[in-house]
Amino acid sequence: MGDNIKCNKYRPLPNELYVGMSDIEGNGLFTTEFIEKGRKFGISHIKNDSGDFHSNYIRTPLAAFVNHDPINPNCTLYECDGYLKMKTITDIHTDDELTLNYFLQDPCKDYISEKCKDHPKESLPIVDESKVIKLQEGTN
């Protein structure tokens, strides 16, 4: 019976990523090789409007171990066909941890607007204008 079964080995993460101990918090997502800015990893969150999930998204294994860096994240999320996908925004060196600024922590924030150039249905997260402090003209 076993000879007739063909098995497709499921890999929840891209080959160049692994889960390891993080200096930020618990486990984190790391790279096994140098990754250039702009590398797209795939689906990180699946939209689900049932109301059962925080911010109406279900995290995939790709997003499950990415830690929060509010100041210098090296990855970002973008929307494509109802999914959120993850890509790098800086070069990442071997054994560096991948990080995101968790904008999904604010479920009322409208973070989708600008269309991507490489896919007409993709959008990029943008700054929440309601949270930007506007300076008066002539001040620093």
What are the tens digits of pLDDT across the range 48-79? 888 777 677 888 888 889 999 989 999 998 88
Q: Which residue has the higher pLDDT, 124 or 52?
A: 52
Out of 42-46, 69-73, 81-85, 129-133, pick the least confident: 129-133
The pTM of this model reads 0.65
Q: Where are the domains of the chain?
A: 12-127
Residues 137, 102: Cα–Cα separation, whole Å? 31
| 12-127: CATH class | mainly beta
Least confident of 40-49, 68-77, 86-95: 40-49
Distance of alpha carbon 104 from alpha carbon 132, whole angstroms: 17
